[in-house]
Amino acid sequence: MLFSDVRKWVWTLLESLATFAVALTTRAYSAAAVPLIDEFQVDRELFEVGFSVFVLGFALGPLLWAPLSEMYGRQILFFFTVSAQRSPIGFCRAGLLMRSAAGHVYSL
């Protein structure tokens, strides 16, 4: 009610695009199945466990996150979930930076 029609349509299209991106993500995972199975020499059933867990999380995630966002608010929940997602990336970057710095010091 507070937003203009244009703003409502922009948000609707952005959410639709995000949902479409998730659909493409699942397709990319299944399209790479044969080369990855051959390269890592795993059974097809074992490879499909990852796909099954992804789809299960996509299906059951809203059952967990929707009540939590109603109880605690979306900003708090968003902060903690994004932090949990990004922290391994930060640790990897810090490790690479430290390794690079150590290599530079030892090469002197």
Q: C-alpha 104: how far from its chain's center?
A: 34
Give just the sign of the alpha carbon dihedral 35, 39, 44, 46.
negative
Give the pLDDT score at 20: 86
Contact 22, 55 (CB under 8 A): no
Contact 81, 71 (CB under 8 A): no
Give the pLDDT score at 5: 92
Give just the sign of the alpha carbon dihedral 35, 39, 43, 49.
negative
pTM listed for this prediction: 0.48
Parse the chain into domains and list their residue ranges: 73-108
Give the pLDDT score at 104: 58
Encode the chain (108 residues) as per-residue pLDDT tens digits.
688 999 999 999 998 898 888 778 777 777 888 888 899 898 888 888 887 887 888 788 888 888 988 899 888 888 888 887 777 777 777 777 666 666 655 555
